[in-house]
Amino acid sequence: METMVTQNHSGISVHVLNTSKFRSKHWAMRISIPLERQLLTSAAVLPYLWMEGTSEFPSSRQLVQRTDELYGTVLRTSIQKRGSRHVMDISASSPEELYIDGAQALTSLVQELLLSLLTKPALESSGAEFSSSHVKRAIALHSRRIESLYDDKTTYAYEQAILASCQGLVQGLPKYGYKDDLDGLTGSHLFSAHQEVLKNADVDFYCVGRIPQPETFSDQMIEALRPHFLSKCRQPSVLPVDTTRISPSTNVHVEQQKVQQAKLNRVYQTNVAYGSEDYPVAVVMNGILGAFPHSKLFVNVREKHSLAYYASSRLEGMLGLLVIYAGIQPDKFEQTQSIISQQVEDVQSGRVSEEELTFTKDALLNQFRQAEDQPLSIIDFHYSGQLSGNPSGMELFREQISRVSVKDVQRVAGKLRESATYLLTNEG
C-alpha cells in the first residue's frame, strides 16, 4: 500500500499520498492554533469569511464561478477542535487532470486557489480590514450556526457533557465560539485575528492523488507557504494527549428545557492517550460497549429493557474521554443509570464473550477498510496522528486491532474513571 510522504519546515508540514486509486485529487490545509478564549470566536468565523472571496475573486459568486471553470472543483472550509487545538480547515477536490483533455495545469490552478483563500483574502481598500459586506454576511451565518447547535438537543447535550467534564480547561471551549462575541466583531478585528493566525499557526497541507514526485511537490508547497509565515522558526507542534488534567467526578449536572425526550450523557476519563500502545485496545473496548448495534449498551439498555430511543458510546481520543449518550424518557433516569453502570462493570470485569469481541473487531476492521477508500478519512486519520506525534497508517492500526484480546480490553477498561454526568430533561 502507498504511504504518506511528509516534509516539515518551521511549523509547516506537507503530506503527500501518491496514489492512482482515485479518479480525483483531494486537498486539505489544516491551520491550527492553541485554543484560547480571547481568539476563540474570531478564529471560528475566519474559515467561513475566507469563502466570501479573495483579492482576485472578490465575492463568493465569483469564487464559485472560478471553481466551475476548474472542471467542477469543490471548495469548502470548516472549523474543528482537536484536543487543545483550534483547527481551521480549507479543503478541495478536483478531477484528475490525466482524464481531462487540456487540463494539464489543473493541479497548479487548484493549488493556487486553495492557498489564496488564506493568503490573499478580499480586503477593503485600506488593506487592513475585511470587506464590511463580507463580515456582515459571515457573522449572520455564524450566528445561525451557533443557534442550530442549541436546537439540536442531542449534539447540545453531548457538548455540555464535555464542557462539564473539562471545566476550567481550554478543551471545554466550544469550537464555534460564543454568540455574544459576534456583535463586537468588525472587519479590522477579524483581520487582526487573521494576522495572529498567520503568525502563530501550525500548517499541515495534504494532497491525496496522482503526484508522481511527492518530494518535489512538497518542496514547492513549502516554498509557496513560507513567505506568509515568516515568523516561524520551529518544529511543528506535537500535542500529546494529557489524560491527567480532567478530574474524576460523580456529580450529576441537570439542565431543564422544554424537551419531550431527555438526553443522558456520562463521561469517563480513559487514561489512554491517542497514539499510545493502548489506544487500539480502547477503540475495541468502546466498540464492545456502545459503538455498534451488537454492543452492550444497545442490546441491554435499548433492546432488552426498552429504556432508550438510542444508546451509544463514543471515544474522544484527543481528549482522553469516553462518552456514553442515550435518549430516554425523563422518568427512566435512575433505571437507565443503573443498567449503564452494569454494562461498564461487565467490561471492566472481563465479562465479554468471544462472539462480542469477534463481532466488534470485524466491524472495526470493515470501517477502516471503507475509510481507506475515502481520501478525507485518510487525511483525518493521519492528521490526528500528526497532532499526537504518532502518525501511523491505517494498515498498522488494523493489525493492532486484530491482536486485541478480552484480557487487553479488561485491562484498559479498568482505567475508566467517571468524570461527569449531564442530564438534559423536561421542565417540571
394-424: pLDDT as tens digits: 889 999 999 999 999 999 999 999 999 999 9
45-54, 228-237, 253-262, 287-296: the lowest-pLDDT one: 228-237
Residues 362-373 pLDDT 10s:
999 999 999 999
What DSSP designation does 304 have?
I
Q: CA-to-CA distance for 94 and 112, rounded, in angstroms?
A: 13
> What order do you get walking across the sheet with 24-34 strand by strand?
5-9, 12-18, 202-209, 24-34, 85-95, 74-82
Who's near 296: CB < 8 A, 6+ residues apart?
A: 288, 289, 290, 343, 346, 347, 356
Contact (CB, 8 A) for 340 and 302: no
For 303-362, the pLDDT digits (tens) are 999 999 999 999 999 999 999 999 999 999 999 999 999 999 999 999 999 999 999 999
Question: If you search the block for the grid coordinates 485554543, which residue do you land on?
Answer: 35
What angle, 0 to 180 degrees and rounded to 10, lies between the N-to-C axes of helices 354-371 and 394-402? Answer: 170
What percentage of the chain carries pLDDT values higher than 90?
85
User: 122 with 54: CB under 8 angstroms?
Assistant: yes
Give one DSSP letter per residue of 204-228, joined into a string: EEEEEE--S-HHHHHHHHHHHHGGG
What per-residue confidence (pLDDT) applies to 121? Answer: 95
Cell of 245: 488534567
The more confident residue out of 308 and 2 is 308
DSSP state for residue 54 in the 8-state scheme = B
**Sequence-ordered list of residues with C-beta below 8 angstroms from that of 352, at least 6 positions apart, any chain:** 288, 346, 406, 409, 410
What percent of the chain has pLDDT above 70?
A: 95
Task: Count H helices and E strands in the chain, helices first.
Answer: 14, 11
With a cut of 80, say whether residue 156 has pLDDT above it: yes
pLDDT at 10: 81
Residue 297: pLDDT band (50, 70, 90) is very high
Report the predicted TM-score, pTM, of the whole model to 2 decimal places.
0.93
Dist CA 402 CA 280 (whole Å): 9
What is the chain's percent helix, strand, coil content, to nearest 5?
Answer: 45, 20, 30
CB 327, CB 157: distance < 8 Å: no
DSSP string, 103-126: -TTHHHHHHHHHHHHHHSB-B-TT
- What is d(CA 272, CA 321) in angstroms, rounded to the nearest whole number? 8
- Could you tell me the pLDDT band of residue 275, with boundaries at 50, 70 and 90? confident
Q: What's CA 231's distance to the chain center, in Å? A: 27
Cα separation, 114 vs 117, whole angstroms: 6
* Cell numbers linked to 101: 483533455
Q: Which domains does the chain have, with CATH numbers?
A: 5-229 (3.30.830.10), 252-426 (3.30.830.10)
Mean pLDDT of 213-240: 76
- Give CA separation, 241 vs 79, 165, 274, 409, in Å: 20, 15, 6, 20
pLDDT confidence of residue 413: 98
Reported for 75-79, long-range contacts at CB under 8 A and 24+ positions apart, including other chains, are: 75/51, 75/113, 75/114, 75/117, 76/51, 77/47, 77/48, 77/50, 77/51, 77/117, 78/47, 79/43, 79/44, 79/47, 79/48, 79/175, 79/176
Bridge partners (DSSP) listed for residue 222 = none
88 within 8 A of 121, measured Cβ to Cβ = no
